[in-house]
A and B are shown apart, each in its own frame.
Chain A
């Protein structure tokens, strides 16, 4: 190959790579470096910015911070597990049980709520659940309740909202992984004497593991970093960690503290995903494929 033709063959690659590299560098890498730098800067008594780990220490000194943090992480895990428990049978039904001609239709039904924005979807739930909402109206009309009760602004409503918001991101990887499961494997296991429970445990779940892991990672990260749903459905006392970050940046205008919180969230999400992958014996490279 002549140098000219080699340069020519490299040119398209460069053209295609440049946008993604610029995007990564300018919008992800550089801001994160700046945030990291900021998170270690503190204003001293004389009003000058100095290097310090004080922002991180503040997090551990103030119980409200680390309690919110732990609560957020635990709830995000609960949301992930619940989403998986609901999405798995749904995905199994669509891929293996439903008549083939309905498969596309069912997938479309799942997709449809995601044609509107998350905000609109959450307002939909609020119309249903609030004190003067649809559900309360019927419960009172049928005499089940004397007084309408507030169904919104509690942890259960918040978790339900988060599960609903995350459903699609769990179902889609499960659909593709279950679709690739050969029916004859299930039949073979049945033929060799296993019952439904053993088939699920020893054939279907091991096969679906990469899909379960990738769906769980996405749902976990989306829930952990969600701001809108906890705020609207959990109300002011939802105590979601993203709200603390928001408060630091916007309300207190303490960007340094906010950066430190942001980094702590990044660390915990990476850590929990790492532990999850280790526990289920999966490799990240296989899961993200």
Chain B
């Protein structure tokens, strides 16, 4: 596969503060690549460096093999969709979309044709003469995307464009954006702090924390096999159990939690006994009242509260006098309708279901 965007050892220092710290990654042609991180992790700075609005302190950015070091933003084959879209309020929809084409000195007829085509593509046919303030949030979104896509950029950069939308519209735009990307085949680099957006839309997700990439992987692997505690905690819901390593052999490590529970976990390497470790288990990996299933960690817990939320219903339960409550998925198949707050139940999970990290 061809690589559209290649970032190598990129850093950005502001006075005392390092916003982006030695980041390297490649994005293949036609991929939807997301950078996921909490606010202030440096993802916007990274994106602005790719767009050309910030000068990297170190490292190189290549687009289709061409070094972008001395190329100004208006000469780069990338376009940026701004967080607040930055549509030009003094122009109508057609003028907004045709803005970049006009800068390339394309003919009026050519521009009108391309604007019509792209509006068709983003499901806004006939919107040419509408004013920006007449559009709804979702329509503005699509105009902003059309305005960049019409220039046929090598890489389209998106800076949390769905952040300003309400929840329902955001869900809808997520699917629409993914479909649009598949249709046009342009390489997308998308930054967000919303893990659901990243997981739903992306081919690859990079999780960013304090200026560094923690993990670059497919959404599935990121969710199932996080390589760092930060990723485990940041992507999706997770339960965290602290413990001391009792013994470790043959890829199986046994932990003792502070309140005396013994837990086994699959680990890649053997761990020195005596070191402290943390184990992450997904709420949906925990089985309520597991019965006779083999190879399970089993805990006796007291239900703290039942959180009914349709398909996302959950239990909060505590083992003994543990500090943190466990979050357990509650399948809505009526099997567990009898569970009430205060009940004593048994839970269990497969020894290979958790992710165990040694704490330094």
Contacts and interface: CB of A to CB of B under 8 A. Distances in A.
Are A and B subunits of one complex?
Answer: yes
Interface of A: 182, 184-185, 187-195, 198, 202-203, 206-207
Interface of B: 51-53, 73-75, 79-80, 82-84, 86-91, 99-100, 103-104, 147-148, 151
A38 B290 CA distance: 104
A187 B87 CA distance: 11
Does more than half of chain A's interface fall in helix, strand or loop, or is it mixed? helix
Contact of A192 (B53, B90, B99): B99
A249 to B, nearest CB: 46
A192 B84 contact: no
Does more than half of chain B's interface fall in helix, strand or loop, or is it mixed? loop
A191 B103 contact: no
A71 B325 CA distance: 85
Contacts of A194: 74, 99, 103
A237 to B, nearest CB: 45
Contact of B104 (A184, A193, A202, A206): A193
A125 to B, nearest CB: 39
Contacts, number: 56
Contact of A184 (B52, B84, B90, B99): B84
Given A187-B53, A206-B90, A207-B90, A192 B151 contact: yes
Contacts of A203: 88, 90
A190 B103 CA distance: 10
A203 B51 CA distance: 20
A251 B256 CA distance: 106
Contacts of B75: 193
B80 A191 contact: yes
Contacts of A207: 89-90
A192 B103 contact: yes
Given A193-B74, A195-B74, A206-B90, 20 more contacts: A182-B84, A184-B83, A184-B86, A185-B86, A185-B88, A187-B80, A188-B86, A188-B87, A189-B88, A189-B99, A190-B74, A191-B79, A192-B99, A192-B100, A192-B147, A192-B148, A194-B103, A202-B88, A202-B91, A207-B90
A188 B151 contact: no
8 closest A-B pairs (Cβ-Cβ)? A192-B100, A188-B86, A193-B103, A184-B86, A206-B90, A184-B82, A193-B74, A194-B103
